[in-house]
Chain A
Amino acid sequence: MANLAAVVGIGQTSYTTKREDVSIAGLVREAAVNALEDADLTWNDIDAVILGKAPDMFEGVIMPEVYLTDALGCNGKPMIRVHTAGSVGGSTALVAASHVQSGMFKRVLTVSFEKQSESNAMWALSNPQPFSTHLNAGAGGYFAPIIREYLRRSNAPYDAGIKVAVKDRLHGARNPLAHLQKPDITMQEVEESFMLWDPLRYLECCPSSDGACAMVIADEELAKKSPKPPAWIRGVAMRSEPTMYAGRNEVNPQAGRDCAADVYKQAGVSNPRKDFDCAEVYVPFSWYEPMWLENLGFAPEGEGWKLTMEGATSLDENGDIPWNCSGGVLSSNPIGASGMIRFAEVARQVRGDAGEHQVDGAKLALGHAYGGGAQFFAMWVVGSQKS
């Protein structure tokens, strides 16, 4: 059995298009210092640092942990760099948790970041390769055909994606850290925004952000002494499947379903819609909310859009299972950090420390991240209680 571990400190930067006031080191340090302050700790209290980010080409720095050592107070300590595509923020949190859950460390710092303004993510994702087809489409172009297939299978109304885009931006308007601040957004405004990759309109897509997120994870004994309530880690899981193979269900990937089943079992969750108080799920393009509602078992297959349309996932409509109360990836997307923000935001919820986007009395919540062509998944369940 894994040792108990809990999140005892959370720190984020604000998210924005260009953080021109800080270097990459300044950005990660800002999040890390915020997490240490939240936990009432200093650098000397940290035994190891676990760093995550998406491809190195996004900033043009190879293995940036080498350069970020000093900014993260790591001299003489172990430092490890995780890279698992867009799910990396989540995977990094899981690797950090495993340092404590294995009993090998008492307290670690984990940080993930992206400073997208330093380079061009579209270029980094699209440079041609000698042995494979050149996909000059970026992430939206990759996912649009999969979303169209979801529409065909589910007969979802055309505006379910628009509804998600509005809902997550209204959530984001409650979160002062969110990149997009659109408190007055309307369905009409989203519908009239230009079509990028049919059926994805401009306002149905995530922004490109600079930002970093950090957490301090501690063992049971230290977590009990922590000044603020800990968020106990109740389940951890990751799954990968191949990008391409005959029979792959790209709309509802097996890896996502298996990962959810694994983490639910550990946390004793049998009915996710009922058992969780909220969830932070990686939704970079609006339609991924209904798709993941089904993949994660919150709705039967083909019916995820109904929850969205009913307002079940909306804080503003008093939904029973609010998703992405922080505004989600649709409101802020520093890619390498986006998964960790999901994991950190659910920890904030169960600590009762989520400010204006707090779900009243949240006790158990799901954090989710996916990456690549939706073949990599990382999830955790956190709770206000140990079991």
Chain B
Amino acid sequence: MKEIAIVGYQQSDSRSDAGAVNEVEMIMPVLERTFAQVGINNAQDVDFVCSGSCDYMQGAAFAFVAGVDALGAVPPIKESHVEMDAAWALYESMLKIRMGHADSALIYGFGKSSPGELPIVLSQQLDPYYLAPLWVDTISLAAMQARMMLDQGLITERDMAEVVSRSRRNAMNNPHAQLSGDMSADDVLAQETYVSPLRKGDCCPVSDGASAVVIATVEKAKEWGVPYALISGISHAIETHNMGMRDITDSVSTRIAAERAGMKAGKVDVAQLYAPFSHQEIILTRALGLGDETSINPSGGVLAGNLMMASGLSNIGEVFNRIISGEAERGIAHATSGPCLQHNLVTVLEKAEKA
């Protein structure tokens, strides 16, 4: 099977309100920087393009169409789109390369969440007959999940606060982060509860932004002559939508995905986990069996800036950055979709051997 590498990654700043900047204006600077990083001119220089976005965030059908206009798709390009985080667009692109119909692919994701009320908008992804009419927002669902964990003695509020503290401190080294600072667990615990037991700090912010990645066969990466990291495994799994039918204090699908992606085959130096709420990072860390040898969310993770439809892809990019900088030799990136970690994707990245 062809070895596939990630060769470029860029992300916009994560901003609480991008103002009058539209989706295309959000995407284009990120794509330009990605092309420059790889040393290519535009989307014509890759074999396949795939994106992830959500119509309901834009409030219009076909949110992705304007993106295609911005790509410079003349002459026409091979292009597809998932209504999911762009990490799944990367998954689709891997299939395209493995079947031999492409040697390289550009993947991008974008979300402008600020114009709407994101937690309430996302209530409309629940079962449309039994749950969506209740307008249960994402924060309330996560609060119930956290409450179950606290009641069962699986975590303490201090454990949650420590996740937030580390995220904010790590984010001080991330120029694109929206929330960063030298915040201690005590500082977090001093906050009022927002949706009990969650404090504001336990919840990811609402953010606007985009990210992009270029992947290619190792041959193509060598031809381009740019640093690369190998994607040694990728897998995803979904669980029942009925939250009463699964243990929401655990993440079985994350464990399945990690196993299929071959995570256990080596040491995990770095893990970027898509945990929009502090207690979910603890669920994921435990489901994956990660210990002290793993640096978790060195970018600050989505608690420092949550780019809907793009942060899962960014996680892959953040691990790539740490491998090519030499900080890490092997790492995993996680993406999630649906309420309370229903659907999870795990990517394993490794340092390339010297050519």
Tell me the A residues contacting B by CB distance below 8 Å: 1-3, 23-24, 54-70, 74-85, 91, 94-95, 98-99, 101-104, 118, 124-125, 127, 129-132, 236-245, 253-255, 258-259, 372, 375-376
Nearest chain B CB to A61 CB, angstrom units: 5
| Cβ A62 vs Cβ B56 within 8 A | yes
B82 partner, pick from A59, A80, A118, beta carbons under 8 A: A80
| Cβ A238 vs Cβ B80 within 8 A | yes
B17: Cβ under 8 A from any A Cβ: no
Nearest chain B CB to A265 CB, angstrom units: 12
A63 partner, pick from B69, B84, B98, B256, beta carbons under 8 A: B84
A376, B55: Cα distance in complex, Å = 17
B residues near A125, Cβ cutoff 8 Å: 61
Known interface pairs A69-B240, A240-B77; A2-B99 also in contact (CB < 8 Å): yes
For A241, the closest partner residue in chain B by CB is B76
A376, B76: Cα distance in complex, Å = 9
Tell me the B residues contacting A by CB distance below 8 Å: 1, 22, 49, 54-56, 59-62, 64-66, 68-69, 71-84, 88, 91-92, 94-96, 98-101, 121-122, 124-129, 132, 235-242, 252-253, 256, 337-339, 342-343
B residues near A258, Cβ cutoff 8 Å: 75-76
Nearest chain B CB to A287 CB, angstrom units: 22
For B53, the closest partner residue in chain A by CB is A83
Known interface pairs A2-B100, A102-B99; A67-B127 also in contact (CB < 8 Å): yes
For B257, the closest partner residue in chain A by CB is A78
| Cβ A56 vs Cβ B343 within 8 A | no
| Cβ B253 vs Cβ A76 within 8 A | yes
Known interface pairs A81-B83, A83-B81, A85-B62; A95-B92 also in contact (CB < 8 Å): yes
B residues near A60, Cβ cutoff 8 Å: 124, 128
Return 7 A-B CB contacts under 8 Å, by A number: A23-B129, A62-B125, A63-B338, A67-B128, A69-B239, A69-B240, A131-B22
Nearest chain A CB to B5 CB, angstrom units: 17
B residues near A238, Cβ cutoff 8 Å: 78-80
| Cβ A241 vs Cβ B241 within 8 A | no
| Cβ B235 vs Cβ A62 within 8 A | no
| Cβ A78 vs Cβ B82 within 8 A | no
Contacts A66-B126, A69-B241, A238-B78 known; list 11 others, CB within 8 Å. A57-B55, A58-B61, A63-B337, A65-B343, A76-B238, A98-B92, A129-B60, A238-B80, A239-B76, A242-B72, A254-B74
A367, B109: Cα distance in complex, Å = 30
| The 9 A-B residue pairs with the shortest CB-CB distance in the complex, in nearest-first order | A55-B61, A102-B98, A255-B76, A240-B79, A62-B125, A101-B99, A83-B83, A66-B338, A98-B95
| Cβ A80 vs Cβ B235 within 8 A | no
A residues near B343, Cβ cutoff 8 Å: 65-66, 69, 79
A-B contacts counted at CB < 8 A amount to 193
A residues near B77, Cβ cutoff 8 Å: 239-241
B54 partner, pick from A63, A94, A259, A375, beta carbons under 8 A: A63
B residues near A70, Cβ cutoff 8 Å: 240-242
A239, B66: Cα distance in complex, Å = 16
A residues near B99, Cβ cutoff 8 Å: 2-3, 98, 101-103
A57, B337: Cα distance in complex, Å = 19
A residues near B92, Cβ cutoff 8 Å: 80, 82, 95, 98
Known interface pairs A75-B238, A76-B239, A102-B98; A241-B74 also in contact (CB < 8 Å): yes
A87, B242: Cα distance in complex, Å = 31
Nearest chain B CB to A219 CB, angstrom units: 12
A75, B128: Cα distance in complex, Å = 19
Nearest chain B CB to A189 CB, angstrom units: 33
A2, B101: Cα distance in complex, Å = 7
| Cβ A78 vs Cβ B55 within 8 A | no
A residues near B121, Cβ cutoff 8 Å: 62
| Cβ A244 vs Cβ B98 within 8 A | no
| Cβ A57 vs Cβ B126 within 8 A | no
For A94, the closest partner residue in chain B by CB is B80
Known interface pairs A66-B337, A66-B339; A239-B100 also in contact (CB < 8 Å): no
A244, B103: Cα distance in complex, Å = 28
For B115, the closest partner residue in chain A by CB is A130
B residues near A85, Cβ cutoff 8 Å: 62, 65
